[in-house]
Structure 1
């Protein structure tokens, strides 16, 4: 499915996923060979260059290495965490064009502000001049995807299937996601229509009238 998405005309710059996918070395290599950036969650035991476990890279990080950054808005406001980032050695096979590097590898750690012992880890593969803030933004985009899946489960039965073969599963998932897209678009249109009705003036004595996208003051015509 990932290869089909990459082969489509859709513009794809980043891939993000939880640790169930992030720890899969084959997936990471496939994305690197395709030239697609990623920010993938990995378990704390993930092996990485220079350390047998990724948590060891950040165990002795000084306080100033942790930067408070929002990775997107949630139901209760910005999702703010402490983030630290480490550049990893480049791999000549994937990260160079000739003798010039054009991609960078990163390890990231996300630490809870209220509970410093709660730390999540990520591996990233990105363009050479990407910023840590951009990597954090990509990592945070996964929450919106998870919320979309949860809404599709609640409203369209995304996870309510009993199939034995991939074809049946694929058909069910496709129809459920199509139904969810329809509901989302319909809700958005209804919201815009409702907002327009709220803005529309009632039958009052006001001389202000709406013409297209602007408001104009209408003067009464000459009396006869």
Structure 2
């Protein structure tokens, strides 16, 4: 799956003349659009309207179109699969991009992936390697710190417990350990628990708002 610009030209119905992707989207009937979630985001399920159309001569090639329900903004993907797959599977794969972007965002914000001033490949490679190693270390700690609880305990709406320790929270605690603030350890842990409880409350609110009026599943 490859994200492409709206000016990308594709062939449909074995036509000889390529057509712009945004022109294809404009010609689709209302029945061609289906609502699917591309996965859970920071504020709940990410619902969009999706449409797809066969392109080229290969029956496994598609132009996948995503439409924002609020703004009407369009995004386009060229897709190929070794076997026939349903639209929901293509949507799922398109949503995986969120996890990649989230990883880069975490690396930049938590371990300074983009905080470098280097002019050659070797020094850049060393900086990026150490940054990703630090992120992997924090991620492993966060995974080990997650308690085993029933499935309902992880449900973003039903759970009343604070969120589990996250990478930013673990980094915050480690900084406090190596550079002790002017507060006691008990006070520091109390604030950590307070933050995570309020983050859990905010997450429940976001998920309820996103889920209101959306199709189940």
Q: How high is the TM-score relative to the length of structure 1?
A: 0.60
CA distance in 1, matches of 2:149, 2:142: 10
How much does 1:115 deviate?
2.3
CA 1:172–1:136 in structure 2 vs 1: closer, same or farther (change >3 Å)?
A: same
Q: CA deviation at 1:126?
A: 1.2
> Which structure dedicates a bigger proportion of its chain to strand?
1
Secondary structure, in 3 states, of the residue corresponding to 1:59?
helix
Distance 1:169 1:48 in 2: 39
- Paired position in structure 2 for 1:81: 48
Q: 2:7 aligns with which of 45, 48, 62?
A: 45
Report whether the alignment pairs 1:145 with 2:112.
no
Give a deviation string over 1:169-193, Cα, whole Å, max 9, x none. 2222222112101101101212328
Correspondence 1:94-109 to 2 at 5 A: 104-109=60-65
Q: Distance in 2 between matches of 1:193 and 1:86?
A: 43
Pairs aligned (count): 146
Matched, 1:186 2:148: no
Unmatched 5+ residue regions in structure 2? 13-17, 151-160, 162-217
1:40-90 Cα deviation digits (max 9, x unpaired): 211101122243311111111000100000010011211000000011123
Map 1:58-207 onto structure 2 (within 5 A).
58-90=25-57, 104-116=60-72, 118-192=73-147
Instruction: Determine which structure has more spread, i.e. the larger CA radius of gyration.
Output: 1
Superposition pairs of residues 21-60 of structure 1, within 5 angstroms: 39-50=1-12, 51-60=18-27
* Unmatched segments (≥5 aa) in structure 1: 1-38, 92-102, 199-224
Superposed CA RMSD in Å reads 2.2
